[in-house]
């Protein structure tokens, strides 16, 4: 079902991961399968995985040019379109993936999805990878442990500032060289989700990974406003409905995918360290000043909204455990 | 069918004398405009991003530059003296020394033709004076020069690593054992031929000569430590190592060897006493500081930068257009179709590798190695992964094929260069290279079916390869 | 075999252009090497580094090739296969060479349209309509001068651009239209040199568009050195 027939709207989806192991790749494949089956005769998707067609930066240029219709870059790639997206890179902005999810579904989050229309892009859905952890060639328990270390970071001002805040020096580097660079010590550490740390085997060449949950790695499924406007209303509606269903199904899985990856890291002999309350508070204290630096870009209202959601989510969690406790008291 | 037309068009244009880059780019653009709905703007984007977005390929201009600084004669001359001191006293000693010198120079330079020019330019003439036939000399150097891309560093390996997204450091490490083996096989063959034909042997010059020649060559050979030690010691990325190598080569050729720049031809007579030596060191340090800036601004430096830049442009223009072709093939999902067809045909790993070798050997007759790799690697890589072939092993197989392509007509860069440095017609060089080509073929078969040769070092030092996808 | 046509620039302007091109190539490569080297020194000597160094070097790399490709046409340095054409008589070869010239020019024209279309919108200018040929300028397009590169900070002395290009908003990073300018510029030069080269073939002062191989110059030099010694 991969070859498009005449008369179908052809949608090229270019991404940078595999098709069957990475959370994003799996979601893209599922979307392709469902659209090609359910919208047969109306629309078809061709997926170009593994950076074979474009990398995450070029794909957005190509999309504005009309050469590709779907992409799912990580959220920091949208900083250039609107600096509001920097909220997702700010350290300890969200307590967990549930809070991220709730924020994205809130009014503030929905606004962000539409926030790039004047730049020609339309956000379709947020796709989760998960919370980011930190690894290095020595144990990282408190922020001062990272002082003087060289960390490979993605190209994002927030991520660079956050490394600078703990006294580490951020380094830019081609992604295919990261494993080798960590192994030989050209760089000392990196930050990523469990699924990437396991998938890229970074844990093999690091002293250990600390479960900091300090940031979020998420993607946005995006298209051009021009393309979306060109679709017939019924086609667009069905297309968006399938996207919403695929998003919900895969996002629900993302937490499990990362927990499984974490278990695999441990099973493969990787060292995983967790932080106690006091240690975590030190990391937060060291990194949080970065918020003020970018408050103007992100908008205070968005930070407030995110923090309110954190609070509400905590309350819900508290209430849920009370309910649990009450239930068990019935027995 | 469309693919056949596309490749037919490319070959037709090549034979007409269209520049390789234009033949690739023009055919791809026509194909793209006819078959897909992708815009011309995307072609321009691919052309620009070929350089700007492929950080790995950045190593290429730096390795070319380092090689240019060393090819001014000084480094090669000293390496040859050292090689003759080491192995010149065997039967066929000068020829064996020539191979040994090619291996050493290959460890400094990323290119095969550069190796032939640097070593062959001196050794072939020397061999003829020592009583070897011109054909034998040319054949030996033409073949040994191909080691330039197998022994790390290697421009072709950089291109492969960039095309399929594996680590350059890993590829370099993988080339070490095959490179040494190929060099050893060539030397052994020469020794056997020399015993049969009773070829000339040199005098054993003694350990002091080895030591003295070694010290002289040491400044140049230290680059091996900088490049490989730097990468595996965790000091540089491969790209940085290449840039540091270029700077180092600039410094020694200007300030130590003094083959170029403001101090050219001011190399001083050997020192006789320890006191003289100390004074000499002080003098070199002081002069080195005083002449550093004048060296950077000297016309020799400008000229070397310009020549290296020009070579980079011609090479990268081909690679960039090959990337346009790759983009078009991907856009039309050709690799998937070929993978499906090959797997459907029930191709096993062994037959697959035969097919890869045949494709590359034929392609190598027409194309310059780096451009060919950019096109072929993405086509065969997915199949190799399906069949469970190690990506590093596949890379080394490709490099060895490229070596053979360099000494077979009609497009064989080493043939051209050897015919130039030996002053022989092309066809005569082809015949001269033939006996040793047989050795390279045997070597190709060994490399293809003994993966251990390529994978042992990288797996031992860096763990098993994972495809970074 | 066709030999490298060494440019023998006539007159002051010709010589000036020639040294501008050669110096340009040398300076760009020199800068790339220095930036990368300095970054290594900074990382070890000063625990830091220019985070924009890698991107700047990569952009210079693109500039080197896109600027240098026209010079390589001028001095016939591009690589090709001359195994077949050497067997034809000179008259046939000339006809073939003219055909090759036409193909090269067609390639450059298509590339020119692509380069303009790609760059123009980044510079708030209209691209062209049409798939193969430019059929007039776009009436409506998405202006993209706000689109910045990844890491290179915006230089202060260019702040005046913000008013005309970015609706008065401040640039944090270098806008993309600046590095991308090399595309239309380099391709236009390339096209110009190809037309010149074709005219040379037509007049009979050159016989083709390709150097026979990579290292011809080095060989010439080697021959010269030997002649001297
Ligand atoms: Na080499
Ligand atoms: Na060949």
- Tens-digit pLDDT profile for residues B90-138: 888 888 988 998 998 888 888 888 888 888 878 888 888 878 888 888 9
Cα–Cα distance for residue pair C116/C191, rounded to 1 Å: 13
To probe the interface with B, which of A176, A178, A269 has the most B CB atoms within 10 Å? A176
Residues A94/A212, Cβ–Cβ less than 8 Å: no
Among A284, A24, A292, A56, which residue's Cα sits nearest to residue A158?
A: A292
Q: Which ligand is nearest to the CA of B105?
A: 1
How far CA C166 is from CA of C122, C157, C175, in Å, comes to 11, 15, 9
pLDDT-derived band at C50 (thresholds 50, 70, 90) equals confident
Q: How does DSSP classify residue C79? A: B
- The pLDDT of residue B465 is above 70: no
Nearest chain C Cα distance for residue B231, angstroms: 12
**Closest residue of chain C to A117, computed from CA coordinates:** C142
Q: Do C79 and B41 touch (CB under 8 A)?
A: no
Q: Is the dihedral of CA A64, A68, A70, A73 positive or negative?
A: negative
Q: Considering only residues 95 to 114 of chain A, which have any Cβ-Cβ distance to chain B shorter than 8 Å?
A: none
The rounded radius of gyration (Å) of the Cα atoms in chain B is: 23
pLDDT of residue B202: 76
pLDDT of residue A125: 94
Distance B402 CA to ligand 2 centre (A): 8
- B338: its two tokens: 């070929």
For residues B259 and A116, the model is more confident at A116
Mean pLDDT for the stretch of residues C61-83: 90
Chain A residues within an 8 Å CB radius of B47: none
Mean pLDDT for the stretch of residues B168-174: 88
Counting one residue from chain A and one from chain C, the pairs whose CB atoms sit within 8 A come to: 34
Cα–Cα distance for residue pair A36/A43, rounded to 1 Å: 7
- The pLDDT of residue A182 is above 80: yes
Calculated CA dihedral for residues A319, A325, A327, A330, nearest 10 degrees? -140
- The pLDDT of residue C2 is above 50: no
pLDDT of residue A285: 94
Cα–Cα distance for residue pair A194/A201, rounded to 1 Å: 10
Q: Do B44 and C36 touch (CB under 8 A)?
A: no
- The pLDDT of residue B403 is above 60: yes
**Which one of B39, B166, B333 has the shortest CB-CB distance to A66?**
B39
Rounded to the nearest integer, the mean pLDDT of chain B is 85
Q: Respond yes or no on whether ipTM tops 0.85.
A: yes
Cα–Cα distance for residue pair B279/B270, rounded to 1 Å: 12
**Closest residue of chain A to B238, computed from CA coordinates:** A177
Cα–Cα distance for residue pair C80/B14, rounded to 1 Å: 7
Distance B111 CA to ligand 1 centre (A): 6
**Which one of B168, B233, B331 has the shortest CB-CB distance to A184?**
B233
pLDDT of residue B134: 86
- The pLDDT of residue C69 is above 50: yes
- The pLDDT of residue B192 is above 70: yes
Mean pLDDT for the stretch of residues C120-141: 92
Q: Do C43 and A150 touch (CB under 8 A)?
A: yes
- The pLDDT of residue A298 is above 50: yes
Distance B258 CA to ligand 1 centre (A): 24
* Kind of pairing between the strands at C173-175 and C148-153: antiparallel
Chain C residues within an 8 Å CB radius of B110: none
Q: Considering only residues 41 to 100 of chain C, which have any Cβ-Cβ distance to chain B shorter than 8 Å?
A: 44, 54, 57-59, 61-62, 64-66, 68-69, 71-72, 75, 77-85, 96-97, 99-100
Q: Do B165 and A176 touch (CB under 8 A)?
A: yes
- The pLDDT of residue C229 is above 50: no
pLDDT of residue C225: 63
* A67 shares contact with chain B (CB less than 8 Å): yes
pLDDT of residue A3: 65
* A64 shares contact with chain B (CB less than 8 Å): no
pLDDT tens-place string over residues B369-399: 888 888 888 888 888 888 888 999 999 999 9
Q: Do B44 and C115 touch (CB under 8 A)?
A: yes
Q: Which ligand is nearest to the CA of B157?
A: 1
pLDDT of residue C66: 97
- The pLDDT of residue A20 is above 60: yes
* B36 shares contact with chain A (CB less than 8 Å): no
Is B387 in a helix, a strand, or coil?
coil
For residues B459 and C107, the model is more confident at C107
pLDDT of residue C5: 44
pLDDT of residue C106: 97
Nearest chain C Cα distance for residue A184, angstroms: 15
- A153: its two tokens: 């970071």
**Closest residue of chain B to A63, computed from CA coordinates:** B42
- The pLDDT of residue A256 is above 50: yes
Q: Do B22 and C103 touch (CB under 8 A)?
A: yes
Using omega within 30 degrees of 0 as the cis cutoff, is the peptide bond preceding B410 cis? yes
pLDDT of residue B317: 93
For B264-302, give the DSSP string.
TT-PPPPP-SHHHHHHHHHHHHHHHHHTHHHHHHSHHHH
- The pLDDT of residue C105 is above 80: yes
pLDDT of residue C221: 63
Q: Do A174 and B466 touch (CB under 8 A)?
A: no
Chain A residues within an 8 Å CB radius of B236: 186
pLDDT of residue B407: 87
Distance A300 CA to ligand 1 centre (A): 56
Cα–Cα distance for residue pair C129/C106, rounded to 1 Å: 18
Chains touching chain C at 3 or more Cβ pairs under 8 angstroms? A, B
Q: Which ligand is nearest to the CA of B112?
A: 1
Chains touching chain B at 3 or more Cβ pairs under 8 angstroms? A, C
Helix (H), strand (E) at residue A136? strand A121-136
Q: Counting Cβ atoms within 10 Å, is residue B99 exposed (0-12), middle (13-18) or buried (19+)?
A: buried
Counting one residue from chain B and one from chain C, the pairs whose CB atoms sit within 8 A come to: 246
Q: Do A65 and C118 touch (CB under 8 A)?
A: yes
- C198: its two tokens: 């074709």
pLDDT of residue B174: 93
* B330 shares contact with chain A (CB less than 8 Å): yes
Distance B403 CA to ligand 2 centre (A): 9
Among B392, B377, B381, B384, which residue's Cα sits nearest to residue B462?
A: B392
Mean pLDDT for the stretch of residues C117-145: 92
- The pLDDT of residue C44 is above 90: no
* Residue whose entry in the numeric block shows the structure tokens 């090739």: C65
Mean pLDDT for the stretch of residues A15-38: 90
pLDDT tens-place string over residues B429-451: 888 888 888 999 999 999 998 99
Among A149, A121, A155, A119, which residue's Cα sits nearest to residue A134?
A: A149
Q: Do C172 and A157 touch (CB under 8 A)?
A: yes
Residues A207/A271, Cβ–Cβ less than 8 Å: yes
% residues pLDDT > 90 (chain C): 55
To probe the interface with C, which of A61, A154, A161 has the most C CB atoms within 10 Å? A61
Rounded to the nearest integer, the mean pLDDT of chain A is 90
Cα–Cα distance for residue pair B72/B69, rounded to 1 Å: 6
% residues pLDDT > 70 (chain C): 87
- The pLDDT of residue B39 is above 70: yes
Q: Residue ranges per domain, chain B?
A: 57-303
pLDDT of residue B315: 86
**Which one of A61, A64, A169 has the shortest CB-CB distance to C48?**
A169
- The pLDDT of residue B45 is above 50: yes
Calculated CA dihedral for residues A189, A193, A199, A201, nearest 10 degrees? 20
C197-205 contacts, C-beta under 8 A, 24 or more apart: C197/C73, C197/C74, C197/C76, C197/C101, C197/C104, C198/C98, C198/C101, C198/C102, C198/C104, C198/C105, C200/C5, C201/C94, C201/C97, C201/C98, C201/C101, C202/C98, C202/C101, C204/C94
């Amino acid at each position: 079902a991969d070859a498009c027939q005449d008369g179908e709207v052809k949608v090229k989806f270019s991404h940078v991961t595999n098709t069957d192991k990475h959370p994003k790749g799996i979601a893209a494949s599922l979307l392709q399968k469902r659209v090609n089956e359910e919208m047969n005769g109306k629309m078809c998707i061709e997926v170009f995985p593994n950076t074979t067609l474009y990398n995450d930066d070029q794909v957005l240029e190509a999309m504005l040019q009309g050469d590709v219709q779907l992409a799912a870059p990580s959220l920091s790639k949208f900083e250039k379109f609107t600096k509001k997206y920097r909220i997702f890179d700010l350290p300890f902005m969200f307590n967990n993936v549930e809070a991220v999810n709730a924020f994205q579904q809130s009014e503030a989050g929905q606004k962000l999805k539409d926030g790039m229309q004047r730049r020609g892009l339309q956000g379709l859905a947020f796709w989760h990878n998960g919370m980011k952890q930190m690894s290095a060639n020595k144990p990282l328990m408190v922020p001062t442990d990272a002082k003087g270390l060289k960390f490979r970071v993605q190209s994002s001002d927030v991520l660079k500032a956050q490394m600078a805040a703990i006294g580490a020096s951020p380094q830019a580097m081609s992604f295919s060289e990261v494993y080798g660079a960590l192994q030989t010590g050209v760089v000392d550490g990196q930050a990523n989700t469990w699924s990437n740390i396991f998938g890229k085997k970074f844990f093999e060449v690091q002293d250990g990974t600390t479960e900091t949950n300090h940031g979020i790695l998420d993607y946005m499924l995006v298209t051009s406003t021009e393309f979306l406007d060109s679709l017939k209303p019924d086609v667009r509606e069905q297309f968006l409905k399938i996207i919403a269903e695929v998003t919900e199904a895969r996002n629900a899985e993302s937490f499990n995918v990362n927990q499984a990856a974490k278990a695999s890291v441990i099973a493969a002999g990787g060292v995983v360290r967790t932080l106690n309350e006091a240690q975590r508070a030190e990391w937060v204290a060291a990194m949080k000043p970065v918020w003020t630096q970018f408050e103007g870009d992100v908008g205070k209202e968005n930070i407030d909204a995110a923090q309110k959601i954190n609070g509400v989510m905590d309350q819900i969690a508290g209430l849920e455990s009370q309910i649990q406790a009450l239930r068990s008291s019935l027995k | 069918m469309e693919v056949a037309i596309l490749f037919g068009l490319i070959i037709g244009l090549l034979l007409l004398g269209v520049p390789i880059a234009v033949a690739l780019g023009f055919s791809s653009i026509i194909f793209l405009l006819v078959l897909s709905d992708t815009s011309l703007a995307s072609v321009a984007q691919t052309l620009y991003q070929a350089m700007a977005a492929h950080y790995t390929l950045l190593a290429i201009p730096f390795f070319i530059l380092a090689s240019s600084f060393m090819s001014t004669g000084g480094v090669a001359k000293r390496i040859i003296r050292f090689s003759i001191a080491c192995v010149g006293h065997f039967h066929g000693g000068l020829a064996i020394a020539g191979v040994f010198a090619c291996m050493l120079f290959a460890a400094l330079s990323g290119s095969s033709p550069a190796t032939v020019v640097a070593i062959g330019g001196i050794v072939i003439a020397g061999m003829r004076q020592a009583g070897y036939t011109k054909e034998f000399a040319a054949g030996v150097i033409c073949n040994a020069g191909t080691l330039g891309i197998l022994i790390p560093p290697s421009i072709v390996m950089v291109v492969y690593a960039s095309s399929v997204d594996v680590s350059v450091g890993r590829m370099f490490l993988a080339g070490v054992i095959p490179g040494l083996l190929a060099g050893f096989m060539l030397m052994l063959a020469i020794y056997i031929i020399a015993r049969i034909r009773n070829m000339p042997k040199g005098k054993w010059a003694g350990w002091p000569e080895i030591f003295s020649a070694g010290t002289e060559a040491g400044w140049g050979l230290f680059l091996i430590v900088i490049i490989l030690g730097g990468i595996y010691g965790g000091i540089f990325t491969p790209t940085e190592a290449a840039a540091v190598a270029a700077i180092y080569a600039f410094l020694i050729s200007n300030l130590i060897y003094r083959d170029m720049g403001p101090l050219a031809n001011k190399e001083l007579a050997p020192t006789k006493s320890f006191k003289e030596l100390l004074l000499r060191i002080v003098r070199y340090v002081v002069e080195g500081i005083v002449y550093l800036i004048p060296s950077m601004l000297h016309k020799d430096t400008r000229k070397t930068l310009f020549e290296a830049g020009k070579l980079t442009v011609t090479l990268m223009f081909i690679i960039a257009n090959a990337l346009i072709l790759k983009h078009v093939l991907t856009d039309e999902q050709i690799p998937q179709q070929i993978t499906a067809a090959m797997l459907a045909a029930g191709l096993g790993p062994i037959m697959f590798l035969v097919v890869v070798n045949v494709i590359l050997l034929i392609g190598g007759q027409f194309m310059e190695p780096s451009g060919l790799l950019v096109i072929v690697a993405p086509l065969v890589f997915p199949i190799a992964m399906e069949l469970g072939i190690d990506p590093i092993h596949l890379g080394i197989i490709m490099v060895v094929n490229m070596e053979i392509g360099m000494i077979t007509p009609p497009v064989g860069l080493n043939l051209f260069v050897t015919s130039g440095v030996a002053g022989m017609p092309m066809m005569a060089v082809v015949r001269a290279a033939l006996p040793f080509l047989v050795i390279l073929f045997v070597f190709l078969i060994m490399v293809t079916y003994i993966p251990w040769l390529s994978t042992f070092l990288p797996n031992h030092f860096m763990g098993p390869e994972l495809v970074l996808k | 075999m066709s030999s490298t046509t060494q440019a023998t620039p006539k007159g002051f302007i010709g010589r000036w252009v020639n040294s501008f091109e050669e110096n340009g190539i040398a300076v760009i490569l020199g800068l790339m090497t220095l930036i990368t080297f300095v970054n290594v020194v900074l990382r070890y000597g000063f625990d830091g580094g220019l985070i924009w160094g890698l991107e700047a070097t990569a952009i210079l790399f693109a500039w080197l090739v896109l600027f240098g490709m026209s010079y390589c046409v001028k001095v016939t340095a591009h690589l090709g296969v001359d195994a077949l054409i050497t067997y034809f008589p000179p008259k046939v070869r000339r006809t073939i060479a003219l055909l090759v010239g036409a193909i090269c020019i067609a390639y450059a024209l298509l590339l020119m349209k692509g380069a303009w279309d790609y760059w123009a919108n980044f510079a708030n200018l209209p691209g062209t309509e049409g798939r193969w040929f430019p059929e007039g300028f776009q009436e409506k397009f998405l202006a993209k001068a706000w689109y910045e590169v990844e890491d290179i900070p915006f230089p202060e002395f260019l702040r005046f651009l913000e008013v005309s290009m970015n609706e008065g908003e401040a640039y944090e990073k270098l806008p993309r239209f600046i590095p991308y300018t090399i595309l239309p510029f380099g391709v236009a030069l390339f096209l110009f040199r190809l037309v010149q080269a074709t005219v040379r073939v037509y007049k009979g002062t050159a016989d083709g568009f390709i150097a026979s191989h990579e290292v011809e110059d080095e060989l010439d030099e080697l021959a010269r050195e030997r002649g001297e010694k």
